[in-house]
Amino acid sequence: MEQILFYVIVAIIMIDFFFDRIIDYLNASRWSNQLPEELKGIYDEEKYRKSQDYQKENMRIGLLTSSLSFIIIVSFISLGGFGWLDSFVRQYTQHPVLMALLFFGIIGFVSDIFSTPFDIYDTFVIEEKYGFNKTTPKIYITDKIKGWFLAAILGGGLLALFVWFYEIAGELFWLYAWLFLTAFSIFMSMFYSSLIVPLFNKQTPLEDGELRNAIEQFSKKAGFKLDNIFVIDGSKRSTKANAYFSGLGAKKRIVLYDTLINEHSTEELVAVLAHEIGHYKKKHIVKGMIISTITSGAMLYLLGLFINRPELSMALGAEQSSFHIGIIAFGLLYSPISTLLGIMSNILSRKHEYQADEFAAKNYSPDPLQSALKKLSVNNLSNLRPHPLNVFINYSHPPLLQRLEHLQRFK
């Protein structure tokens, strides 16, 4: 049985890799040296060529990293690397929690060491070349250290709890894990911006003035109580702009990147905020949390059914069953289901984006939102002609042209 599972796991990895390459090829087939007719008025000739070059360079580095990762993971599995690592860890401890922490800690550290050179190249070569990078080596290093710290505290803490749940509850561990994960997710949704973001970025209340007055005036008109409007210093790392909504109840807040404020008019910014408020008014955040809770519960239930089966661990070369290798094997076998759930999630997310756009258009104005979306896309050198299959599978937001067309209905 473990031999069959081994071949199934390798087949899943191979199918996933080659399918992604097909998507890359289809996407690249839509690139053009000439400015397409439908993009005239959005991109100019020079900016469009620059966006095409940016997309090509990102695809090349992505192809290199994904190909190397594919070769390494298939080789590691085929040579019994996970089984070897399990034996190595058992030389130092037999405690289930410590074994899992050491096992995943080594995997995480080695993976990070492998990916760091490519990340450095992406940040300091590609992003720098196209005028996006503002990250200094000092910021990069401190971000890396902080990331390791958070991974150890949060990731390690969750892993330790899950192993402990398994030790005390057996197959029912999934229920304990689900309840705790749900509570943790709600907590992080409420306090992420106030606990995690400050470790990396400075957030300051939006100062009094024309923009704040315009936002508060629209919020009052839309029946949305908003006391927390913050500006984040995104410009310390990149020139790319963004805005997001976070929190629940009294902890909800809207965060604007300083780069967004610098590049957009007051009307455009209010339109962007109207879109974010639309997500809240349409209860998209709550719906997303409910769906995430259901899907995570189903996944953990399946994990509870299969985690104690020795075939899972032995399929990856282990000599005896263990929780930590069982998670790896289950995760690889579950990945097709995860992909299908991701596609369904993206379909729903794109629908929610259209609804938020509609809310902003009806309650504020479609024109400034269209203008803001165009600026964001052009300034970020976005690919405005992605292949439909790529959109269907990977896009959580509709492409710009579809969003502009949708907004035209409300003029």
pLDDT per residue as tens digits for the range 290-339: 999 999 999 999 998 888 788 888 888 888 888 899 899 999 999 999 99
Instruction: Record the tokens describing residue 122, joined without a space.
Output: 């992406």
Lookup: tokens for 243: 């805005």
Instruction: Tell me whether residue 227 is one of the annotated catalytic residues.
Output: no
Residue 240: CB partners within 8 Å, gap ≥ 6? 132, 234, 259, 379, 380
For 339, residues 6+ apart whose C-beta sits below 8 A from its C-beta are 16
- Name the one residue in this structure whose structure tokens are 């399946």: 302
Pairing of strands 229-232, 243-246: unpaired
pLDDT at site 390: 95
- Structure-token pair, residue 9: 């796991």
Structure tokens given for 293: 């809770």
| Residue 225 pLDDT | 77
**Res 316: pLDDT:** 87
Return the pLDDT at 97.
93
Whole-number Å distance between alpha carbons of 175 and 166: 10
d(CA 143, CA 89): 29
Those residues whose C-beta lies under 8 Å from the C-beta of residue 309, and which sit 6 or more positions away, are 321, 326
* Mean of pLDDT over the chain: 91
- In degrees and rounded to multiples of 5, residue 16 shows phi and psi of -60, -45
Of 86, 122, 127, 276, catalytic: 276
Provide the residue-wise pLDDT of the chain in tens; the chain has 411 residues.
778 889 899 999 999 999 999 999 999 998 888 888 888 888 888 889 999 999 999 999 999 999 999 999 999 999 999 999 999 999 999 999 999 999 999 999 999 999 999 999 999 999 999 999 999 999 999 999 999 999 999 999 999 999 999 988 877 889 999 999 999 998 988 888 888 999 999 999 888 889 988 988 898 888 887 778 889 998 999 998 888 877 776 677 888 899 989 889 999 999 998 998 899 889 898 899 899 999 999 999 999 888 878 888 888 888 888 889 989 999 999 999 999 999 999 999 999 999 999 999 999 999 999 999 999 999 999 988 999 999 999 999 999 999 999 999 987
pLDDT, tens only, 108-159: 999 999 999 999 999 999 999 999 999 999 999 999 999 999 999 999 999 9
Q: Which 3 state secondary structure label does DSSP give 306?
A: helix
Measured in whole angstroms, the distance separating CA 205 from the mean position of its chain's CA atoms is: 26
**3 state DSSP class of 216:** helix
Whether pTM exceeds 0.85? yes
- 232 close to 197: Cβ distance less than 8 angstroms: yes
Cα dist. 224→191, 232, 274, 279, 363 in Å? 20, 22, 10, 12, 12
Q: Are the C-beta atoms of residues 325 and 332 closer than 8 Å to each other?
A: no
Which of the following is catalytic: 127, 268, 353, 357?
A: 357
CB atoms within 10 A of CB 176: 18
Bridge partner list, 40: 43
Residue 146: predicted pLDDT:
95
Contact assessment for residue 335 and residue 383, using Cβ atoms and an 8 Å cutoff: no
Cβ–Cβ < 8 Å for 8, 330:
no
Q: What pLDDT does residue 246 have?
A: 77
Exposed/middle/buried for residue 37 (C-beta within 10 Å: 0-12, 13-18, 19+): exposed
How much is the pLDDT for 308? 79
SS (H, E, C) 102-151: HHHHHHHHHHHHHHHHHHHHHHHHHHHHCCCECCCHHHHHHHHHHHHHHH
* Residue 357 is a catalytic residue: yes
Give yes or no for a contact between 363 and 222, defined as CB atoms under 8 angstroms apart. yes
- Give the burial class of 164: count Cβ atoms within 10 A of its Cβ; 0-12 exposed, 13-18 middle, 19 or more buried: middle
